[in-house]
Amino acid sequence: MSAEGETANGPLLAVGRLTKLFGTFAACKSIDLDIRPGEIHALLGENGAGKSTLVKMLFGVLAPTSGEILWQGRPVRIASPSAARRLGIGMVFQHFSLFEALTVAENIALSMEPGHSLAKIAAQASALSYAYGLPLDPNAHVADLSVGERQRIEIVRALLQNPKLIILDEPTSVLTPQEADRLFETLAKLKAEGRSVLYISHRLEEVQRICDRATVLRHGVVTGTCDPRQETPASLARMMVGSDVAHVSAEGTNAKGAIKLETRHLSAPARTPFAVSLKDISLKVHAGEVLAIAGVAGNGQGELFDALSGECQAPGDDVIRIADKPVGTRGINARRLMGAGFVPEERHGHAAVSALSLSDNLVLARSQSDRRAFLGGGFLGIIRQDAVKMAAKRIAAAMDVRKSGDNPPAGSLSGGNLQKFIVGRELDRQPTVLVVNQPTWGVDAGAASRIRQALVDLAKSGSAVLVISQDLDEIFEVATEIAVISEGRLSDIYPAGELSREKIGLLMGGMPGKSETAETAHAH
C-alpha cells in the first residue's frame, strides 16, 4: 500500500499540544509529534513518562483534555478503538486485551468488522501467523496459552486489520531473538509498502536497528527528537532518564553457601491440553547465588514457577526442598513461612490486584506470620493501616516507585513502577529464597537496572535467587549460573562465564542429550 493524498507531502499522523489530565496531574502535557508515511518512529521514555497515555489517546481508549490530532492532514476525534481501526490505526498493547475463555479466532473476531465468518478469520489468522513466524492454533483457548503466544495473537490481530499505522507497545518483550528478527522483517515490509509504525520499546538496541526517528518523553513532556542510528544505547538511555543509567555490578556473588532451594527429579503432567509438562527437573540454588533459567516462551517456565511457588503441588513432598526441608506438597503460604518469596510473571491479577491500593496488595502478599507486624495489639483481626502504609512507603522509596499519590491503586501505576513495587515488596521481607519470573518484562532501562541490582544484592547478602527470564542481556547481567528450559526439560547448569549467546540459543532451540550437554560443559 502506498501513501495517499495529503500524506504524500505531509505526516500521516500529527498531534499538536496534546494534553491529558487526571485531576490535576498531567500525564501528557502539550505534546507535539508527527509520524511520516513509511516511517518507523520510536517513542521512548521511562515508565510513567506518558507513553501509554499518549498512544491510548491515539487509539481512542482515552479522550484528550486538550490539543488536536490530525490524520492525513485533517483534524479527527478518535472516540473509540473501533473508530481508530476504521481510520487505519492498529495497536498491540503491552498488557493483553484478550478474553481467556475464548479461542484465538474468537478473540480476533471481536476486533474485526461484521461480515467475516469465524472459519475465514481462523484460516486468515493461521496463514498470517505462520507466514510471519509467529505460529498460532486458532482453535486454542487463550487461557491455555503462554504469555509469548498471547503476544502473538495481539500482533496477528493488528496485522489482520491492514493498518496504515500500527502502534507496537513492547512487541518483542516475550519473543525470542529469532522471532524478533522475523518481526523486524515484517516491519521492514510494512515500511516498504508506505505504512508507518509507532514503536515503543525499552530495548534500545532494537530502536537503533529498525527506527528512523525517535521522540523522547520525560514526565509527560517531549524532551527531544533524534535519529537513533546516530546515538548509542547509553546516550538514548540518558535522554530518557536525564542521567546516566547505573551499571549492574555482580561482584561478590561468587561465594556459594548452603543449598537453599532444590528440586529432585521434578516431573508434573501438563494441566491442560496446551500446557507443558515438566520432565525430570533437578536443580540446586545455593546461598549467594543467582541461577538464571533461559528459554523461549511457552517451554515450561510458568509451570516451573507454579511448582516452585506452591501454586501447583508437586507429586511428592521431598521433590522440592527449601532450606533442606521438604515442601513439595505444601502451598505458597507454608513456603513463605519458611522464608521464600515469589514474583510471578503477570503483574496484573497475579502479582497484584489492580483495583486495590498498594498497601492492601502488600498485606495480601504477606503470610499470616508476616502480617503480625501490621496487627493491632490484642486484636488479631485488626490491621493497623498506618503501619501498612508506612511499609508501602518504605518499599516505594527503596525501589524509586513513581506514583500519583501516597497510596494509589496498583492499576494506576505504570508497568515498570508496579513491577518495582512488587519486587520491592518481596525484598522487604529479606527472603532466604527468591524465585522471580520475568523480573523486568516491559520496564525501562533505569527500572530494569534497579531491579537487577536488587536481585544481585539479595544474593550477595546470602540469599538464593532463581531468575526465570527470556532476556539474555538480563541473564548475563545477573547470573552466576545459567540453565536453559526447553519443552519442559532443564539443561545442565553452567557457570555463567562458560556460556555464550550462541550456545544458549542452541539450547533454547532444542535440547541436546544430557551426555552431550555434559561433554560440552567439560569442553569449556
The per-residue pLDDT string of the chain (524 residues; one tens digit each, 9 = 90 and over) reads 334 434 456 899 999 999 999 988 899 999 999 999 999 999 999 877 899 899 999 999 999 999 999 999 999 999 999 999 999 999 988 777 889 899 999 999 988 878 889 999 999 999 988 877 778 999 999 987 866 688 789 888 888 888 999 999 888 776 666 677 878 988 898 898 899 999 998 888 899 999 999 999 998 999 999 999 999 888 888 888 776 666 677 766 666 899 999 999 999 998 877 678 999 999 999 999 999 999 877 789 999 999 999 999 999 999 999 999 999 999 999 999 999 999 998 888 889 999 999 999 998 888 665 666 676 555 456 777 888 888 899 999 999 888 878 889 998 888 788 999 999 999 998 999 999 999 987 677 778 888 999 999 999 999 999 999 988 888 999 999 999 999 899 999 999 989 887 788 778 866 554 434 434 444 44
pLDDT, position 335: 94
| Of the candidates 179, 97, 98, 91, the residue with the CA atom closest to the CA atom of residue 140 | 98
Q: How many other CB atoms sit within 10 Å of the CB of residue 382?
A: 11
Of the chain, the end-to-end C-alpha distance in Å amounts to: 51
Contacts of residue 141, defined as CB under 8 A and 6 or more positions apart, other chains included, come to: 100, 101, 102, 103, 274
In the chain, the domains with their CATH numbers are: 5-241 (3.40.50.300), 246-339+432-524 (3.40.50.300), 355-430 (no CATH)
pTM of the model: 0.69
Task: Name the residue type at position 411.
Answer: G
Q: Is 433 exposed, middle or buried (0-12, 13-18, 19+ CB in 10 A)?
A: buried
The whole-angstrom separation of Cα 22 and Cα 220 is 12
Whole-number Å distance between alpha carbons of 62 and 78: 9
Q: Rounded to 5 degrees, what are φ and ψ at 354? A: -55, -35
Distance, CA of 389 to CA of 348 (rounded, Å): 21
pLDDT of residue 512: 55
The pLDDT score that the predictor gives to residue 176 is: 65
Residue 151 confidence (pLDDT)? 79
In whole angstroms, give the CA distance from residue 325 to residue 493: 22
